[in-house]
Amino acid sequence: MRRVDTASYYAANVMWPKSSSSNFRTLGRAWLLSASLLLLPLGGCAGPGQYVWYSELPTSERGTAGGDYVIGVGDAISIRVYEQEGLSGDVRIRSDGKVALPLLGEVVAAGKRPLELSQEIETRLKQFVVTPRVTVNVNEAHPITVTVVGEVGTVGTLTMDPPARLVDALAKSGGLNDYADSSRIFVLRQFPDFKRIRFKWEQLVRNEGGTATFPLRSGDVIVVD
């Protein structure tokens, strides 16, 4: 597998060229050692870091169960609180996945289904309103935007219509290249909570456990090591 030690190359060829004095080279090696130590993960061993396998996700997070829509960044939604017009309104999900609501302040909406969000708002409004009843509807669905990086044919940002599947995004990026580790495909998901989800290419092409239809969300970053 191809691995380029950028720090080593930079220190050896740019900061400290062969024509530099021995003192400079010594300083360069010291700098490189310090940088390498800082880049090591806790525990001192190189590894894939913390992640969760796709198969370990709750069933509700492996897809859109029952076809329920998942709210994403850029979507326009309406929030209606029964008999509370002052608490109702139309809002658009910001790039941080949040919306600002009267009384409640900042609320994370991206990554949640409309029913989940309405239930959360109801729970939080109980300290202000007696038996609040809330409905959430999606007025405008924004195209799904994801970023693909690593050992693929073409890295970059993709805009896809929902449902945007992981296997489709990899195909649009030209698939895995010759240097890719087919067992180290990750989806970095920001909303509603950060997750690093791991896949294997063999699972995707065989659709094991529904991996091939895993739906992406706006803000997801696909990393192929």
In percent, how much of the chain has pLDDT > 90?
Answer: 62
How many CB atoms sit inside 10 A of residue 162's CB? 17
* Domains contained in the chain, CATH given: 6-39 (no CATH), 52-65+143-224 (3.10.560.10), 70-140 (3.30.1950.10)
State the pLDDT confidence band at 213, using cuts at 50, 70 and 90.
Answer: confident
Q: Tell me the C-alpha distance between 144 and 225, whole Å.
A: 23
Cβ–Cβ under 8 Å, residues 101 and 107: yes
Q: Where are the alpha helices (DSSP H) in 92-214?
A: 114-125, 166-172, 201-206
Contacts of 151 (CB under 8 A, 6+ apart): 2, 176, 177, 179, 180, 181, 224, 225
CA distance linking residue 14 with residue 193, whole number of Å: 40
| Contact between 70 and 111 (Cβ < 8 Å) | yes
Residue 27: both structure tokens together: 């300083």
Residue 131: its pLDDT value, please? 94
- What count of residues does the chain have? 225
Cβ(210)–Cβ(166) below 8 Å:
no
pLDDT, greater one: 97 or 14: 97
> What are the tokens at 74?
């850029």
Top pLDDT among 77 and 142 is at: 77
pLDDT band at 130 (very low <50, low <70, confident <90, very high): very high
Measured at the CA of 211, the angle between CA 71 and CA 108, to 5 degrees, comes to: 20
| Structure tokens given for 131 | 């038996």
pLDDT the model gives residue 39: 35
* pLDDT reading at 32 higher than 70: no
The torsion angles phi and psi of 88, rounded to 5 degrees, stand at -105, 160
DSSP code per residue over 61-75: GSS-GGG-----TT-
